[in-house]
Amino acid sequence: MSEEVKAPAGTRMAHEELGLDPDAVLTMYRRMVLARALDRRMWVLNRQGRAPFVISGQGHEAAQVAAAAVLRPGVDWAVPYYRDLALCLALGMTAREFMLSVFARAEDPTSGGRQMPSHFGLARARIVTTSSPVATQVVHAAGIAYAAKVRGLDEVVLTTIGEGGTSKGDWHEAMNFAAVHRLPLICLVEDNDYAISVPHRLQMGVDSAAERASGYGMAGTTVDGGDLLAVLKVMRTAVERARSGGGPTLVCAKVARFTSHSSDDDQRRYRSQEELETMLRRDPIERLRGYLLEAGLLTEEADDRLLQECTAEVDEAVQSAQEAPAPDPADLERHVYAAEGA
Ligand X SMILES: Cc1ncc(C[n+]2csc(CCOP(=O)(O)OP(=O)(O)O)c2C)c(N)n1
Cβ atoms 318, 261 nearer than 8 A? no
Among the candidate windows 37-45, 53-61, 188-196, 289-297, which touches Mg ion by CB under 5 A? 188-196
Question: How do strand 157-162 and strand 77-79 relate by DSSP bridges?
Answer: parallel
220 binds Mg ion (CB under 5 A): no
Establish if 166 lies at the interface with Mg ion (CB under 5 A).
Answer: no
Q: Which of 83, 212, 261, 282 is an active site residue?
A: 261
Residue number with CB closer to Mg ion (255 or 288): 255
Task: State how far Cα 177 lies from the chain centre.
Answer: 23
Examine residue 162 and tell whether it contacts Mg ion (CB under 5 A).
Answer: yes
Amino acid in the structure at residue 19: G
- C-alpha to C-alpha distances, 55 to 72, 81, 85, 259, nearest whole angstrom: 26, 10, 10, 9
The binder of 134, among ligand X, Mg ion, none, by C-beta within 5 to 8 A per type, is: ligand X
Q: Is 59 in the site for Mg ion (CB under 5 A)?
A: no
The option from ligand X, Mg ion, none interacting with 214 (CB < 5 to 8 A, set by class) reads none
Determine contact, residues 140/131, Cβ cutoff 8 Å.
yes
- What DSSP assignment string belongs to 138-197? HHHHHHHHHHHHHHT----EEEEEETGGGGSHHHHHHHHHHHHTT-SEEEEEEE-SEETT
- Rank residues 265 and 294 by Cβ distance to ligand X and give the closer one: 265
* 105 in catalytic set: no
Q: Which of 15, 83, 96, 257 is catalytic?
A: 257
Q: What residue ranges bind ligand X (CB under 6 A)?
A: 83, 132-134, 162-165, 190, 192, 194-196, 257, 261
What's the rounded Cα separation, in Å, for the pair 89 and 112? 18
Task: Mark whether 257 is an active-site residue.
Answer: yes
192 binds Mg ion (CB under 5 A): yes
Residue 132 interacting partner from Mg ion, ligand X, none (CB closer than 5 to 8 Å by kind): ligand X
Q: Taking contact as CB under 5 A, which single stretch among the options 129-137, 191-199, 269-277, 321-329 is the one that binds Mg ion?
A: 191-199
**Closer residue to ligand X, CB minimum distance, 53 or 146:** 53
Q: Do residues 108 and 100 lie in contact, with contact meaning Cβ atoms separated by under 8 Å?
A: yes
In the complex with ligand X, which residue's Cβ is closer, 132 or 319? 132
* Of 222, 233, 225, 286, nearest in space to 255 by CA: 225
Active site residue 181: no
Q: Which residues are catalytically annotated?
A: 257, 261, 270
Contacts with Mg ion, residue ranges (CB under 5 A): 162-164, 192, 195
